[in-house]
Amino acid sequence: MANVAVIGAQWGDEGKGKVVDWLASRADIVVRFQGGHNAGHTLVVGSQTYKLSLLPSGLARGKLGIIGNGVVIDPEALLAEIERVRGQGLTVTPQTLRIADNAALILPLHAALDRARETARADRKIGTTGRGIGPAYEDKVARRAIRMCDLAEPETLSEKLDELLLHHNTLLQGLGAPVFEKQALLDRLLELAPLLLPYAEPVWERLDEARRAGRRILFEGAQAVMLDVDHGTYPFVTSSNTVAATAAAGTGMGPASVGFVLGIAKAYCTRVGSGPFPTELTDATGALLGDRGREFGTVTGRRRRCGWFDAALVRQAVKVGGIQGLALTKLDVLDGLKELRLGVGYRIGGETLRHLPAGMRAQAAAEPIYETMEGWSGSTHGARTWVELPAQALKYVRRIEELVEAPVTLLSTSPERDDTILMRDPFED
């Protein structure tokens, strides 16, 4: 019996929420291992729709949720999210949610710096959410972060705030933004401490015990491989590693504990914000995909850019992300299109590549090389078995498998949780 790690195989927003929810019902523990409240999953459970950013999706299924040390946590955002889902009937207590005591915190000064920097970039914006995730990770690697465990030590908290403000107020002043006063920050953190500390523990120990007991652990990734700070379309990326290997470092478990790696990809492609997007469609077809797929970001609310499925990009994500099987979502959005295209590579100047290069200008110059396929006239919407799929839709899925060099192990044919075709159970590997 394997654990399962779920990661995005494109630029995020691939429909991970439904797939994670489907898997969470069969897991014992669901763990977030990277990112912050700049990512979101929308879950539909019965008549309720939950929009989660920091809370692990398994809480909606009554499973133990864990926020690992690889996540950066905004205390105010977390407590607000807990109160919101409690109002929808979810039980969130220290018995159902545990948080790594060594997780770094996001403070108001991080969000202020994030926004001030983005404003200063003018027409060269990266497209951050302005929620402070990047600056919080910077403080973590610079060894000046305030962590969950520091809330239990007022003297440590005071000393760390001195160092933090020396750094951040200098930057904020240089950017023409208001600076922060220590006492107000210290007082607020001390107010929040008794609300947060009951959730805190060395989660690595609990997870190790669960692993030894043979309990099923689902590692829930945020964002996606092509937003990975090392392997994505840098600098238009997030501030953490999003590949499956991070599930180990971001929870305190060994790499052998990660188990089966399931990558989520749409049957087409979308991206929110700035950055290269070789297969983007700015025509009526792109608008049609956006309308049919209801392409608005869970967290940002921004309209997603839409384009053809980029098999070269997903193949790259499969290789660097450690993906062993794909969950292909939103196949039904393509119903009725007479012609479909698959990106199979890129042309940059006179050179042909099967992967996106690392250089920013080279990425921006990449022109897609397409393979054209016939569409299908029948409907895939709501299909739950292979035999219900039109023959041409089945050919499309099989061709994707060949191009990305990974099997499609799960196929989603509508937003409904049970409209899913399972070819291979990730938990049984």
Pair (190, 163) in one structural domain: yes
**Residue of 21, 37, 41, 168 with catalytic role:** 41
* CA dihedral (204, 210, 212, 214) positive or negative: negative
| Structural domain total, the chain | 3
First to last CA, the chain: 6
Pair (215, 329) in one structural domain: no
CATH of residue 187's domain is: 1.10.300.10
Whole-angstrom distance, CA of residue 273 vs CA of residue 184: 34
Pair (16, 57) in one structural domain: yes
Pair (171, 190) in one structural domain: yes
pLDDT tens string, the chain, 429 residues long: the values are 589 999 999 998 898 888 888 898 889 999 999 999 987 777 777 777 888 889 998 898 899 999 999 999 999 999 999 999 999 989 999 999 999 999 999 999 999 998 998 888 877 777 778 899 999 999 999 999 999 999 999 999 999 999 999 999 999 999 999 999 999 999 999 999 999 999 999 999 999 999 999 999 999 998 899 999 999 999 999 999 999 999 999 999 989 999 999 999 999 999 988 899 999 999 999 999 999 988 876 665 668 899 999 999 999 999 999 999 999 999 999 999 999 999 999 999 889 999 999 999 999 999 999 999 999 999 999 999 999 999 999 999 999 999 999 999 999 998 887 888 988 888 886
Domain boundary among 245, 260, 275: 260
For the question of residue 419 being annotated catalytic, the response is no
CATH of residue 292's domain is: 3.90.170.10
Whole-angstrom distance, CA of residue 81 vs CA of residue 84: 5
Pair (253, 139) in one structural domain: no
Domain boundary among 176, 196, 216: 196
Residue 331 burial (C-beta neighbours within 10 Å; 0-12, 13-18, 19+):
buried
Pair (150, 114) in one structural domain: yes
Yes or no: say if 61 and 21 are a contact pair by the CB < 8 Å rule: yes
Pair (274, 345) in one structural domain: yes
Locate 267 and state its tokens: 């049957």
Locate 394 and state its tokens: 């089945």
Domain boundary among 181, 196, 211: 196
Pair (15, 131) in one structural domain: no
Pair (360, 401) in one structural domain: yes
Yes or no: say if 180 and 165 are a contact pair by the CB < 8 Å rule: yes
Pair (273, 252) in one structural domain: no
Q: 87 is in which domain, residue-wise?
A: 4-100+200-260
For the question of residue 208 being annotated catalytic, the response is no
Pair (292, 410) in one structural domain: yes
CATH of residue 76's domain is: 3.40.440.10
Pair (256, 285) in one structural domain: no
